[in-house]
Chain A
């Protein structure tokens, strides 16, 4: 195991600065594990902030009539909830997972560019400050929806510019983070770790990083045009000068649709690690999983206008985007089937990671199906911009991305913290979340079918009951996340709990389980020798 262990203590060569302590360790971090932790804590914070905003929305919608906020503030809550969740909570969390796990899984000493890695992280802080701080600017936070459609954005106050700059910075952060991830994967795998032996989490991130690099600059372009339209007299989105508001939507969704897969592919990777571990059986159809992921990524570039069926496209446009969108069901289906085939005739146990993973498959698929229903253009005409869409994307984002992150947390936190979480508490968290999630978001399908538009501060009274139900669910779901924070994450951070063995899951595979728990500060400083399947260290 010599290659694996931190040589701390028995080698005099370790410089003091390699083991930084105190605040410098975090502020000046170049260690992928520390940076991963920073990312995860950041995103947890943003999840809480975004969640509180969501509760503001839900509180207002508890009953007809305006009780809690005025309509201006309501729109700000919706917009900021979306932005913070997407750019602050989900994306950085996956980058945090990538930072922690990718070097461990491919047998690399660190990320390819350790300082740039830290830069990617620290860029998030100014961005978050600007974004959250915009609530306190004159006129309040941006209130044009997370999609920031022109020309409504042209009417926003100064906070809109703060938001735009914040998103530029977050984009830069994502691009640098992605470059780091791609290079680490392509160039720093231990000898013997061929691409097709690499854990799927690395594969999904490789493809995600490619998507990020391809689309974040496009978003930057779109919001830059918004900025110049606002302040420098351009007419990109202003028909009076020959521009077109719908052009904004095309550019935005060219980013936006791949973006939703950016938020789900790493989740697929996490689930693909967990299912085999708890089914005690190798992942079924590894190769086809890789191809399916790639297909999803490629298709994701040609479906964007399914968000725009009601803008008035020509028939051919509607048909093309409808067909292309429906095709994505096929590779996604392949993934679902492979997971189930992995479980088939396995020897399953249901610790918390497995519960969340199975919960993920089940609930995500519901969200996938509603996506497919939305893809059918004539049906989408009825459902576009209603709560049906809100239901759809919370099924894929909360029960998809967020659940996978919970699964990943329970699966890998022993490695991160060196202590086991409490299985009972994990189960409480899972079942509580699952039930309250459905109480919150299932009724939204009905609201949407009945025609309740989204981004509404008040609604006709016939919608009252389901809204009340959703609000109750949302507070319950929120409480479960508070429980997660206080009874699971914080104790683990403080080292409370049983010491974790090096490999807490008997059938888990991968190099991360070849190092002690908690993972030492430095791992794989010299490349390890691997067995034939690149899952074990043999020298």
Chain B
């Protein structure tokens, strides 16, 4: 293991050197944004050359493995191409080289088959250990389900301290607008800022169960060394035990449609005590926010509520104007929306349409669905005066 440590030291040294060169390069290059932007702790650093500083054992192991591989590969590379370039400089005709005549040797063929075979085994051994550790998701202190939606993450605290907490985490709207503007202000957490970060306690084994509502997404947090596809209809899991408090960032890592670049992951790691406080506060908020599904709403109230739901969920595709875009159907003036039979629109929201091009929204509460439908039925040119009550939605769910 000594040699391996030496290798990894050499790797870090190399890395530092590369970093210096890289920075020099960056300075000469400098494009608009980069100068004003700073490293984002827990997220990417400016012109970062390496994996994220590890915050879990697994991430540290991965980084070590990467150095280990890199060093072996570089050594082989230098050796092999050292020979090649030596030959290129020495055995060229302009240097008067005469061609030799040999063209086969079983001995060397065997050597350069067997030696790489052992090198590969050498590489596979430590990797095997990490694979086994990585896949062991048993005995978690906290289990959280992360559901990928187009395009946000839903978190449900399933087991452990905080059980029952559930919320959705979306990219900060101003960032999305900045992106569209084409001239985003220098922002350290550009495209990484969310409304509700995932909150976890430090030093606890957190098991993340991933699944998805529509298409495949992937839950990735580089500092934790995790990346797990979220597959609709199936659950998969991964785990981490963060060794530091702080904010850590990741992004969706599987192409999931047009807003793929806009569904970041922000994990806030809190000390045990802070986490307990957070859980308390969250539980209180939940209790206060819970809508009574039996409540009968007035139209303006419900429209106002619906506007918020629309902005948070629907506007990304159907646009604030309700006109849709491209393949996305308009809502303004749509036949289903104007239809007196409310159940049609309720059914579309609950079940989706067009193979999920319009996803199912059944994870929204009855009140939210009722509100957003009422809103669409009474906004833009749609003035139906119809009102959909949460009870209608509840009835349609069965």
Contacts and interface: CB of A to CB of B under 8 A. Distances in A.
Direct contact of A and B (CB under 8 A): yes
B339 to A, nearest CB: 25
Contact of B31 (A63, A66, A151, A312): A63
Interface in A250-290: 279-288
B34 A465 contact: yes
Contacts of A228: none
Interface in A322-352: 322-323, 326-327, 329-330, 333-334, 336-337, 340-350
B191 A379 contact: no
Contacts of B37: 461-462, 464
A296 to B, nearest CB: 13
Given A230-B355, A239-B232, A461 B257 contact: no
Contact of A65 (B30, B44, B178, B192): B178
A244 B232 CA distance: 9
B216 to A, nearest CB: 6
> Which of A64, A67, A326 gathers the greatest number of chain B CB atoms within 10 Å?
A64
A465 B29 contact: yes
Contacts of A362: 81, 84
A467 B117 CA distance: 37
B220 interface: yes
Interface in A343-369: 343-350, 358, 361-362, 365-366, 369
A66 B103 contact: no
B357 A366 contact: no
A466 interface: yes
A140 B258 CA distance: 12
A450 B250 CA distance: 11
B26 interface: yes
Contacts of B47: 446, 462, 465-466
> Which of A341, A344, A347, A462 gathers the greatest number of chain B CB atoms within 10 Å?
A462
A155 B127 contact: no
Contacts, number: 345
Contact of A457 (B98, B128, B238, B261): B261
Interface string B58-70: 1101100110011
A446 B228 contact: no
- A interface, over-half SS: helix
B326 A446 contact: no
A444 to B, nearest CB: 12
B298 interface: no
A415 B129 CA distance: 55
Contacts of A464: 31-34, 37
Interface in A220-270: 230, 238-240, 244-246
Interface string B278-313: 000000000000000000000000000000000000
Contacts of B184: 64-65, 461
B173 to A, nearest CB: 15
A461 B190 contact: yes
Nearest to B135: A315
B389 interface: no
Interface stretch (B48-56, B153-161, B380-388): B48-56
B112 A333 contact: yes
Given A155-B215, A461-B187, A385 B73 contact: no
B336 interface: no
B104 A71 contact: no
Contacts of B123: 326, 372, 376
Nearest to B39: A462
Contacts of B234: 239, 244-246
Interface in B127-154: 127-128, 130-132, 134-135
Given A334-B112, A384-B253, A348 B218 contact: no
A152 interface: yes
A450 B65 contact: no
B364 interface: no
Contact of A284 (B44, B93, B102): B102
Contact of A382 (B51, B108, B262): B51
Contacts of B88: 343, 348, 358
B51 A449 contact: yes
Interface in B92-119: 92-94, 97-105, 108-109, 112-113, 116-117
A531 to B, nearest CB: 17
Contacts of B5: none
Interface string B323-359: 0001100000000000000000000000000111100
Nearest to A457: B261
Nearest to B251: A453
Nearest to B43: A460
Nearest to B233: A239
Interface in A161-198: none
Contacts of A152: 215-216, 255-257
A349 B94 contact: yes
Contact of B236 (A312, A366, A372): A312
Given A64-B33, A152-B257, A319-B131, A462 B46 contact: yes
A461 B186 contact: yes
A143 interface: yes
Contacts of A460: 40, 43-44, 189-192
Contact of B355 (A151, A319, A372, A466): A151
A135 to B, nearest CB: 13
B181 A65 contact: yes
Given A149-B215, A369-B73, 9 more contacts: A140-B326, A155-B215, A155-B354, A334-B109, A373-B73, A376-B69, A450-B45, A450-B49, A460-B40
The list of the 3 closest CB pairs from A to B, nearest first, reads A239-B233, A312-B236, A450-B48
30 contacts: A64-B179, A67-B182, A71-B259, A149-B255, A151-B355, A157-B327, A239-B232, A245-B233, A279-B99, A285-B103, A310-B253, A311-B229, A345-B87, A345-B91, A346-B87, A347-B91, A347-B97, A362-B84, A373-B66, A376-B65, A379-B65, A449-B66, A451-B222, A453-B260, A459-B261, A460-B189, A464-B34, A465-B25, A465-B26, A465-B30
Interface of B: 22, 25-26, 29-34, 37, 39-40, 43-52, 58-59, 61-62, 65-66, 69-70, 73, 76-77, 80-81, 83-84, 87-88, 91-94, 97-105, 108-109, 112-113, 116-117, 120, 123-124, 127-128, 130-132, 134-135, 178-184, 186-192, 210, 214-216, 218, 220, 222, 225-229, 231-234, 236-238, 250-262, 326-327, 354-357
